[in-house]
Amino acid sequence: MMARLLLGLAGLMGAAGVALAAASAHGGDASRLAAASAMLLFHATAILGVIALLARGLLHGGIGLIAAVGFAAGAALFAGDLTLRQYAGHSLFPYAAPTGGTVMILSWLAVTLAAVVAKR
């Protein structure tokens, strides 16, 4: 059930990433949107990879799921904050983008841990 939810979120993140890339390419000063797009697209793909590795038993289940959820939450915070700044002129909340970035970094470290402690 959680894997299907994460796969759905990855699809939405991918779609939003492409839309933000288009907005960045066709807008004026839209460098924030390019960064938001990149984070969504990279981490949508990371979620797909983690789910596939979990299905093959190559990652520890619980830690791998935490990493995938972190990718989704971190990318949403990061991209949401940058997009809101671009279009509304204010942030989601103070330090939202760095918080999202930190969550994504911690999620990558969780993938590392999930690989090290996976059942062999």
> Three-state secondary structure along the chain?
CHHHHHHHHHHHHHHHHHHHHHHHHHCCCCHHHHHHHHHHHHHHHHHHHHHHHHHCCCCCHHHHHHHHHHHHHHHHHHHHHHHHHHHHCCCCCCCHHHHHHHHHHHHHHHHHHHHHCCCC
Q: Which domain holds residue 81?
A: 2-116
d(CA 49, CA 105): 16
Q: What is the pLDDT of residue 23?
A: 94
Average pLDDT of adjacent 10-residue blocks, the chain of 120 residues: 96 98 87 95 98 97 97 98 95 97 98 88
Q: How many domains does the chain have?
A: 1
Q: What is the pLDDT of residue 30?
A: 83
Q: What is the pTM of this model?
A: 0.94
